[in-house]
Structure 1
Amino acid sequence: MSALFTPVTNLTRACWAEVAIRAFREQTGTDFEDALGDLLCDLMHWADARQFDFALALALAEFHYGAEIAEEAEPFTERAVAPCVERAGTDSRSAEAGAKGRPS
């Protein structure tokens, strides 16, 4: 393995998802508890518009998720995601306060 190569971990993947959820919440004003479901729903609309098979993509995602979980023995908690939240500048839940004033 090259010294320049940083392995991608499930924590890294969770941090990427954190960035996507944060961007979605900033655009829509949705609150933290609804963000994942709302984003998935909007991705279904996107898949329809782009003629992607969402069910197939979801099945593939579940397959990849299972393989990635199997690669790492120890699960992580919300606390483990804190470093990527700190790098991004704010906690996802605290961003909710600013989003509450926006129409949903």
Structure 2
Amino acid sequence: MPFTVAWAPNEAPALQVTVQTLLPLMRDCNGGKLAGKKIMESGFPEMTFFSKPLGKGQTLQAGKLYFLEQGRMEFTTAVMFNLTVAKSGEIQECTAEKVVYRSR
């Protein structure tokens, strides 16, 4: 997938969700509404993230949520989430990038 802004490692887990779950979460992430919350309290579905250390106890977490749109053709809307998480487990920064591509 051609994510251009978000860190999108191949190891990042992907989880299929509904559009009603994904779009508000993306809006909250990019709008700064998740800062100060723990991942489990932020509205993410139960999932794991791929993590890399940043220093000073911080980690960068990456995970992908997606949904399928079916009509004459099938399209996937995928959002890669990057969360900078403090040692305390609180989200300090969240970035979400959306891509849409033809699945079949």
Q: What's the TM-score, normalizing by structure 2?
A: 0.21
The structure in which a higher percent of residues are helix is 1
Kindly name which structure, 1 or 2, has the bigger radius of gyration based on alpha carbons: 1
The structure in which a higher percent of residues are strand is 2
Larger RCO, structure (CA 8 Å, separation 6 or more) = 1
